[in-house]
Chain A
Amino acid sequence: MGPLPVNMDLASTYFIRGSNFPTPTHHPAPELLVDYVAGALSPAAALLIELHLAFCTGCRRSLDVLLAAGGALMDALPPARLPADLFNRTLQALGGMEPASTLSDPTPVPAFAAGWPRVLRDRVVEQGYADWRKMPGGFRAITIPFPKSEGRVIVLKAPGGRGPFRHTHAKDEWTVVLEGGFTDELGTYTAGDFVCAGRDIEHTVIADDGGCVCTLLMRAAPVYTTWPGKLMQRFMKV
Chain B
Amino acid sequence: MPEPLFRAGPSFDELIVAIGTHQDRSAFAALFAHFAPRVKAYLLRTGSDPVGADELTQEVMLLVWRKAAHYDPAQARAATWIFTIARNKRIDTFRRDRHIEFNAEDPSLMPEPEQSPDHRLETAQQARAIDAAIGRLPNEQAMLLKLAFYESKSHSTIAAEVGLPLGTVKSRLRLALARLRGHLGTES
Q: Which residues of A contact B149 (CB under 8 A)?
A: 37-38, 69-70, 73-74
Residue of B with least CB distance to A7: B76
Q: Is the CB of A14 within 8 A of B86?
A: no
B111 touches which of A8, A34, A37 (Cβ 8 Å): A8
Q: Is the CB of B38 within 8 A of A64?
A: no
With A72-B79, A73-B146 known as contacts, the answer to whether A9 contacts B181 (CB < 8 A) is no
Q: Which residues of A contact B54 (CB under 8 A)?
A: 82-83, 86
Contact with B along A67-96 (1 / 0, CB 8 A): 111111111011111110011011101100
Chain A count of residues within 8 A CB distance of the other chain: 74
B108-123: which residues lie under 8 A (CB-CB) from chain A? 108-112, 114-115, 118-121
Q: Is the CB of A69 within 8 A of B99?
A: no
Query: Does A133 interact with chain B (Cβ within 8 Å)?
Result: no
Q: Which residues of A contact B129 (CB under 8 A)?
A: 1
Q: Can you list 13 A-B contacts (CB < 8 A)?
A: A1-B125, A5-B119, A6-B75, A6-B114, A7-B76, A11-B111, A16-B112, A16-B114, A70-B87, A77-B150, A83-B54, A87-B32, A123-B100
Binding site for A on B (CB under 8 A): 25, 28-29, 32-33, 35-42, 44-46, 53-54, 57-58, 61-62, 65-67, 69-72, 74-88, 90-91, 94-97, 99-100, 102-104, 106-112, 114-115, 118-121, 125-126, 129-131, 133-134, 145-146, 148-150, 152-155, 157, 169-170, 173-174, 177-178, 180-181, 184-186, 188
